[in-house]
Amino acid sequence: MAAAVKSKRERSAVSRSRKSAEPHLAKDDLLQLYYYMRLTREFEDTIVTLYRQGKIVGGAFSGNGNEATAIGSAYCLNKEDYIFPMHRDLGAHFVKGQTVRNLMLQHLGRENSPARGRDGTGHYADPLLRIYGNISHLAAMIPVAAGVALACMLRKEHSVVMTYIGDGGSNVGDFHESLAMCSVMKLPLVLIVENNQFAYSTPIAKQFIVERLSDRAAGYGIPGFTIDGTDVEEVYTVCKQAVDRARKGEGPTLIESVTMRMHGHSVNDNAEYVPQKLLDGWKKKDPIVKFEKQLIEKGILSRSIQEELGKKISDELDEATQFAVKSSYPAPQEATVGVFAE
Amino acid sequence: MERDSSVFLLGEDIGEYGGAFKVTKGFLKHFGNDRVIDTVLAESAILGAATGAALAGMKPVAEMQFADFVTNGFNQLINNSASIHYRWNLPVPMVVRLPSGAGIHGGPFHSRNPEAWFFHQPGLKLVAPATPYDAKGLIKAAVRDPNPVLYFEHKRLYRHVKGEVPDDDYVIEIGKGDIKRPGSDCSLITYGATLHPSIEAAALIEQQDGVEVEVIDLRSLAPLDKDLILSSVRKTGKVLIVHEDSVTGGIGGEIAALVAEFAFDHLDAPVKRIGAIDTPTPFAPTLEEYFLPNREKILAALKELAAY
């Protein structure tokens, strides 16, 4: 239930709208969300395997625990909308139309990857799909997303821009500068803070003392919501309202999605600093397991559909992996090409 | 802006107020508030938003109220604007206007010449006009360029330099310097505000000693007009580099290295550099005058070179 909001006014606004015009997800949508969540997790598991086999250079990140947030939010967007996902939002790329193959190529840094080997993981842009990846200074993308939102407003387009930041990243000046700018200009931006309890090794108690990160919305006079980031339907419902609001020209919304980073910061981090009890507690709220259970209870998901999806996903991953592993790295002298646009 | 509706301005106090230096005075009335946007006081957001708008197909011209304040948005320029084309193969057609420079008693935070920080970063173009004619040609070139261009406009030149500016639509190619005064005895390589005392010093040494100094106005700092620099040095055999930015780590160092690497055989004297001393910009007039390069310092250096 998305009730944790800053003011009573906002809270009642949410509960009212949930009763009356709650965004509706049809059976096919729910199955699609389920597919994306499983695909994401299995893709990331494949990446870890490839990493351990030495087939991946650089690092590898896991969004385990964040699937519902990334996918439920991105699912609110239209083709014309823009998304700026982070490194734990792999699923958002799929939802926005990116292929398994392209993302695999990205992770392997091949010449035919979207970033042509210039950068890895989700650090690429696909202007046709309107996906703009992050840089490692994560919060630095929020002003850029705001600029795209500004362009949309100036051109009187009705596109919305969605972007993400973490609990740690929400302390960076760019987070605050962007909210200041977007609120005053009423820019169509939806900013989702993924509160996954840790910024690398630093627990949230050392990152902020507000009760909820959505409380920070009040400082900018915009709506703020805190949601259960492990519940894909709740994520969708609240994000959809924020997207609709932005599309109507009513300005930005800040959403704190509370979840858990179930793995280390990267594949190189064994996360010994995370108390086992905390992990055990969150394990019970695994977004995929939870959603699966709900879908089975509703009679939407059957064992045969589950198996069918499992087969489809493993085929897609196998095909993409084989293709990517066989693909070449860029030729060394390619390093000199493309600093400037001609 | 008349020519291309995707060009718009954003910055602090640029609309109603017309900008701290009145550069955009009357723009709001003429172009409307969709083209001239007063922003919140947040340089990183301004530069990031310009980057985003450029990615989305607009041509933003962002103003830093004083070039000094660009430090607040440094990360956006370095890690986003400058590197996006290389990483994503997408153009970022944006301009950042940076009123820069000392000599107006602005003290340490309103006097900076920050070009060298950005000179080191691949993916940025840097221009620094010194005359009204070049200012017009370069701003048009900057706006039409598909890359991020930092446009350094020296504040003291706003009111101290006058010159003819034709009405027609002309551009000055970015990356091309200009010989502002031809000569055969010594190459004086400069840009921005120090062009003017350089030309004066060149005239004085010709009067006094008959030495003919070639004054090269780089106009563009990145890319540098290496051909023009080297062809002049090969002709004269002597080099004085002058900029208002402090000497250590300044662009003059790169020019000196270029000359040493590619024109060493032609040199008849050591390469000399003149710039501000290596301190923050001091406030009191006596200190600031000591800090800055000027005609006399340039003339003295030219005389030293002429003696070789």
Q: What is the pLDDT of residues A142-171, one digit of tens each?
A: 999 999 999 999 999 999 999 999 999 999
Choose the closest CB to A151 out of B39, B53, B76. Answer: B53
pLDDT at A23: 73
3-state helix, strand, coil in chain B (%, to 5): 40, 20, 40
Burial of A78 (0-12, 13-18, 19+ CB in 10 A): exposed
Q: What is the pLDDT of residues B26-38, one digit of tens each?
A: 999 999 999 999 9
Choose the closest CB to A146 out of B37, B45, B87. Answer: B45
pLDDT at A223: 98
pLDDT at A14: 46
Q: Are residues B98 and B151 in contact, defined by beta-carbon separation less than 8 angstroms?
A: yes
Q: Are residues B256 and B230 in contact, defined by beta-carbon separation less than 8 angstroms?
A: no
Token duo for residue A259: 């979840």
Percent of chain B clearing pLDDT 70 (strictly above): 100
DSSP state at residue A331: P
In this predicted structure, the answer to whether residue A19 has a pLDDT above a threshold of 70 is: no
Q: What is the pLDDT of residues A268-297, one digit of tens each?
A: 899 999 999 999 999 999 999 999 999 999
- Residues of B annotated as catalytic are 110
Q: Are residues A253 and A191 in contact, defined by beta-carbon separation less than 8 angstroms?
A: yes
Least confident of A1-5, A228-232, B172-176: A1-5
* Nearest alpha carbon to residue B13 among B3, B1, B5, B21: B21
Phi and psi of B307, rounded to 5°? -70, -20
Q: Can you list the positions of beta strands (E) in A65-186?
A: 82-84, 125-126, 131-132, 161-166
In this predicted structure, the answer to whether residue B154 has a pLDDT above a threshold of 60 is: yes
Distance CA A78, CA A96 (A): 8
**Chain A residues bordering chain B (beta-carbon distance below 8 Å):** 82, 115-116, 118-119, 123-125, 127, 132, 135, 137, 140-152, 154-155, 173-174, 177-178, 180-181, 184-185, 338-342
Q: Say yes or no: B7 contacts chain A, CB-CB below 8 A.
A: no
B-chain residues within 8 Å CB-CB of A119?
87
Choose the closest CB to A181 out of B39, B56, B122. Answer: B39
State yes or no: cis peptide before B223, omega within 30 of 0. yes
* Nearest alpha carbon to residue A302 among A26, A31, A24, A41: A31
**Beta pairing partners, B126:** B150, B222
Contact B53 A148 (CB under 8 A): yes
Q: Which of A132, A158, A181, A182 to mutate to test the interface with B (most CBs of B within 10 A)?
A: A181
pLDDT at B165: 96
pTM given for the model? 0.95
- Please, which residues 72-91 of chain B have a Cβ atom closer than 8 Å to chain A? 75-76, 79-80, 84-91
Distance CA B295, CA B306 (A): 16
In this predicted structure, the answer to whether residue A13 has a pLDDT above a threshold of 60 is: no
Q: What is the pLDDT of residues B81-130, one digit of tens each?
A: 999 999 999 999 999 999 999 999 999 999 999 999 999 999 999 999 99
Q: What is the pLDDT of residues B44-77, one digit of tens each?
A: 999 999 999 999 999 999 999 999 999 999 999 9
pLDDT at A21: 58
Mark B10-29 as b/e (b = at least 16 C-beta within 10 Å): bbbebbeebbbbebbeebbe
In this predicted structure, the answer to whether residue A65 has a pLDDT above a threshold of 80 is: yes
In three-state secondary structure terms, A4 is strand
**Beta pairing partners, B127:** B151, B220
Q: How confident is residue A5, by pLDDT bands cut at 50, 70 and 90?
A: very low
The overall average pLDDT reported for chain A is 93
In this predicted structure, the answer to whether residue A11 has a pLDDT above a threshold of 50 is: no
How far B65 CA lies from chain A's nearest CA (Å)? 17
Residue of chain B whose alpha carbon sits nearest to that of A146: B49
